[in-house]
Amino acid sequence: VSGTVINANFVDAIALPRIVWLRPNLIGLAFPLMKLLPARFIIRKALEKGELKPGALIAETTSGTFGLALAMVARLQGHPLFLVSDPAIDPPLKRRLEDLGATVHIVEKTGASGGYQGARLEVLEKVLADNPGSFCPRQYTNPNNPASYAPCAEQLAHATGGIDCLVGTVGSGGSVCGISSYLRLMFPELNVVGVDTHRSVIFGQSDAGGGRMLRGLGNSLMPQNVDHTAFDLVHWVGAAEAFRATRELHREHALFVGPTSGAAYMVADWWARENPDHLTAVVLPDEGYRYQDTVYDDAWLAAQGAVIDRLPEQPVEWDRPQDGDDPWAFFRWGRRSYADVMSEANKLQLSAR
């Protein structure tokens, strides 16, 4: 990211984050568009292995920033792109994707299972089957998604000489699992804190009972790329809290970022306050422009009932992840597998009844 070189293209120029101090012991990794790292690396590796031929179709299901990153990379590399999305996609993003040459297909009904995501997967598989030679990046299962974060780990290692704690939101398992896998080669004691949201299945909650207002983290299906054994702590953050923290990042630090950044920042700020002798880094995955009419609009926040006067000082500690609903909670995951945690949690749930 040296400002003294002329980059080959805009993706290379902005793929890595800017690193900024947020507290004396907390640094932010402010990505313009974090998903450029996996999009670029997955495409590069697929071309190297011959899974993707030059100029062949790329198809993927996404309603978020991975689609935008893919569209930028595909445009620069000369690949047509087919994206399957749901009605939650915001119109400006859809227009931007189409301007980059992508075909955006919106599914109107939820699938047989897994909500909209299930329906999107059904369309995706049909497009892939109908187009021989097409390639699907599959960010939730492709190991090159987490593997793509080595340049970010390099930047952190060179800039800091090592951190004590990494905090980030978990959606596909790419960024936090990827960065921490590399850093732990050199710093096995590194603490890893994952940030999820309620009614996401990633760390054991059920997705029943309504959708999630906070987007860009969490999942209704379990992503294979989530390595549960990476996590020391898991936090669940509600939408109102995340939105408020996003605005505070802007007001206090002039950091104009999206709501996943706010959720991660709230948790990281708490961890840094609790551990003043440790250096924490927090992943801030995207910029605020997409959210000007939502998170950055007080009227929209009020209409959603997502206004709170102040952030909670402390999270509530849960003894099991599956049935809590406190707006900000955490659980000591302890680098265990999902199966280990859930079997213990289910015993606790039974004994509580």
Partner 1 sequence: MHSAAATLLDTRPRTAATERRPVPSLFPASTTTVQQAGYGRVHAHHGEILQGMFYSGDGTLEHGLVTLPCGLYGTRARFRPLRSGPLTVEPRDRPRARVAARLTLDALGRRGWGGSIRIAGNVPLRWGCGSSTTDVLSTIRAVADAFGQVLEPEWIARLSVAAETASDSLMYPPEQAVLFGQRRGSLLQDLGGPLPRVQVLGFNTEIEGTETLSLPPIAYSVWEIEAFQPILGLLRRAVDQHDASLLGRVATASTEINQRHRPKPLIPQLLRVAKEIGALGTQVAHSGTVAGFLLQPGDDVPGRVRHAQAALARLGVHRSWEFSNDLSSQPELVP
- Interface residue list for partner 1 (CB under 8 A): 45, 143-144, 147-148, 150-151, 153-159, 161-162, 181-183, 185-187
Q: With respect to partner 1, which residue has the nearer C-beta, 44 or 253?
A: 44
Q: With respect to partner 1, which residue has the nearer C-beta, 61 or 139?
A: 139
Shortest reach from residue 211's CB to partner 1, in Å? 34
Q: With respect to partner 1, which residue has the nearer C-beta, 131 or 181?
A: 181
Q: With respect to partner 1, which residue has the nearer C-beta, 123 or 153?
A: 153
Shortest reach from residue 191's CB to partner 1, in Å? 17
Shortest reach from residue 339's CB to partner 1, in Å? 23
Shortest reach from residue 305's CB to partner 1, in Å? 43
Shortest reach from residue 187's CB to partner 1, in Å? 7
Q: With respect to partner 1, which residue has the nearer C-beta, 146 or 258?
A: 146
What letters, b where the CB count within 10 A reaches 16 and e where it falls short, cover 129-141? eeeeebbbbbbbe
* DSSP letter (8 states) at residue 226: -
Shortest reach from residue 16's CB to partner 1, in Å? 12
Report the alpha-carbon distance of residue 220 to residue 201 in Å, rounded: 6
**H-assigned helices in 52-149:** 65-77, 91-99, 115-130, 144-147
Q: With respect to partner 1, which residue has the nearer C-beta, 26 or 156?
A: 156
72-78 LR contacts (CB < 8 Å, sep 24+): 72/10, 72/11, 72/33, 72/36, 72/39, 72/100, 73/11, 73/36, 73/39, 73/40, 73/43, 74/43, 74/100, 74/101, 74/102, 75/100, 75/101, 76/9, 76/10, 76/11, 77/43, 77/47, 78/54
